[in-house]
Structure 1
Amino acid sequence: MKKIVLVNGIIGGLIVAVMMLISMAWLKNGHSNMEWGMVYGYASMIICFSFIFVAIKTYRDKYNNGTVSFGKAFMIGLYITLIASTFYV
């Protein structure tokens, strides 16, 4: 479980950091289109949240014989979110 959480958390965190840097550079150049910002924000959230889904599915299929409890899936998602959020902050 640790490897799945670390790999997906780091990938998600790097994506969040890169997306943040791109948006900062975009705003610094004076491009403050709100519609683009909304689409960009939702797209980055969907991309990062997909790593939580992939990690839980990988854990369920490879390590837990096709079943996973809600508590275990919640903890995997929470750990990935904590790792990814450290890249954002």
Structure 2
Amino acid sequence: MRVVSSLADIDFAIGRIARAGRDLVIESSADSTIATKVTVTPADALRSVAALLTSPSVWLFLVTLPFAAFRRQAPGTSDAWQERRRRTGLNKPW
């Protein structure tokens, strides 16, 4: 998945998922652009599930998901994060 904000442009792939007390901790995999750890509290999870269940966009996404694997990427539309980073200037502290 891709996370884009004014501070960063991150390719985030889910790696390890574990519990830490009552929270869920999701760590990025080695092929993510930045090592990342996400902590999800029970309250965060409930709000997220409620938002997902009430969103028509999510239901449409889920219905079309089986067909997404058959969709081919157009030539020349590489999703290489290095190229995006160079082009957008994000993730640069200077």
What TM bracket, shorter-length normalisation? under 0.3
Structure in which a larger fraction of residues adopt helix = 1
**Higher relative contact order, structure no. (Cα contacts within 8 Å, ≥ 6 residues apart):** 1
